[in-house]
Amino acid sequence: MRILVGVKRVIDYAVKIRIRPDGKGVVTDGVKHSMNPFDEIAVEEAVRLKEKKIAKEIIVMTCGPTQSQDTLRTALAMGADRGIHVEVPPSEAETILPIQISKMFSEVAKKEEVDLVILGKQAIDDDCNQTAQMTASILDWPQGVYASKLEVKDKKLEVIREIDGGLETILLDLPAVVSADLRLNEPRYATLPNIMKAKKKKIAKMKPSDLGVDSAPRIEVIKVEDPPVREPGIIVEDVDTLITKLKDKGL
């Protein structure tokens, strides 16, 4: 089996973001970036399938500015075999949407003849939660989104999904697209020897147009602003005061 994994370079999840002075985006310069947490889980799952001898090759792909290569290297150090970097200038990377990214993934999935695409369930910057579904749709492949467990059974893929109110089990024909939820696995840390080895692994570079994708913006950002700030509250001294205060509010 060949697996294609998607990764995205995003502002680190622990960073408190700031709105840019022009009010059209958030400050990214000089801010710590790392691999989208859901994508780490996707890479880990692919590597585990390789360790179980189910997968032969793992191709990891990203679309973004030059620095996105660091994210690819991290995935390679975790155990992916080779990388594909679809480079876009930082200005374009800001407005590129899942619809364009999914066209790129589906194109590569066909070209590389992969049997499984694993993506994260959502990127923690745009919070879209769309790329896996769109990729599956373009390819007319089945999808197992929000996966918390994967198992290959008789050339089919059994996926346990996290849904509102509980869990769901589905069975997918391969090839298929899966998106990883937080509880799919615990991603490994890349060791120093593996980081060194990853430097020798190949990364192919291309542009969106090489994959026939138009990266022109489909939305116009009117403004990006801070959410409304809550008024500071008070510290109450004991449970009785808390109950009284809530009663005053009619609760």
For another protein, the binding residues in 137-176 under the rule CB under 8 A are 137-138, 140-143, 145-146, 148, 158, 161-173, 176
Rounded Cα–Cα distance for residues 54 and 156 (Å): 12
Residue (14 or 192) nearer to another protein, CB: 14
Query: Could you tell me which stretch among 53-61, 74-82, 132-140, 193-201 binds another protein (CB under 8 A)?
Result: 132-140
Contact between 30 and another protein (CB under 8 A)?
no
Q: How far is the CB of 217 from another protein (least distance, A)?
A: 8
Q: Coil, strand or helix: which one is 51?
A: helix
Beta carbons of 163 and 171 less than 8 angstroms apart:
no
The amino acid present at 37, given as its one-letter code, is P
| Interacting positions 34-63 with another protein (CB under 8 A) | 38
- Residue 128's Cα: distance from chain center in Å? 10
Contact between 204 and another protein (CB under 8 A)?
no
Please report, for residues 9, 10, 70, 87, 142, the alpha-carbon distance to residue 65 in angstroms, rounded to integers and kept in the order given.
9, 11, 10, 6, 30
Contact between 184 and another protein (CB under 8 A)?
no
Contact between 134 and another protein (CB under 8 A)?
yes
Q: In sequence order, which residues have a C-beta less than 8 Å from that of residue 8 and are 6 or more positions away? A: 35, 36, 39, 62, 63, 64, 68, 71, 120, 123, 125
- DSSP single-letter state for residue 92: H
Q: How far is the CB of 123 from another protein (least distance, A)?
A: 10
Q: How far is the CB of 35 from another protein (least distance, A)?
A: 16
Q: Coil, strand or helix: which one is 143?
A: strand
Contact between 28 and another protein (CB under 8 A)?
no
Residue (27 or 196) nearer to another protein, CB: 27
Q: Which of 56, 111, 183, 207 binds another protein (CB under 8 A)?
A: 183
Contact between 239 and another protein (CB under 8 A)?
yes
Q: Which of 130, 147, 187, 198 binds another protein (CB under 8 A)?
A: 130
Residue (163 or 196) nearer to another protein, CB: 163
Q: What is the CA radius of gyration of the chain?
A: 21
Q: Which residues are registered as beta bridge partners of 156? A: 153, 173
| Interacting positions 4-23 with another protein (CB under 8 A) | 11, 13-14, 16-17, 19
Residue (196 or 221) nearer to another protein, CB: 221
φ, ψ at 243 (rounded to 5°): -60, -45
Contact between 222 and another protein (CB under 8 A)?
yes
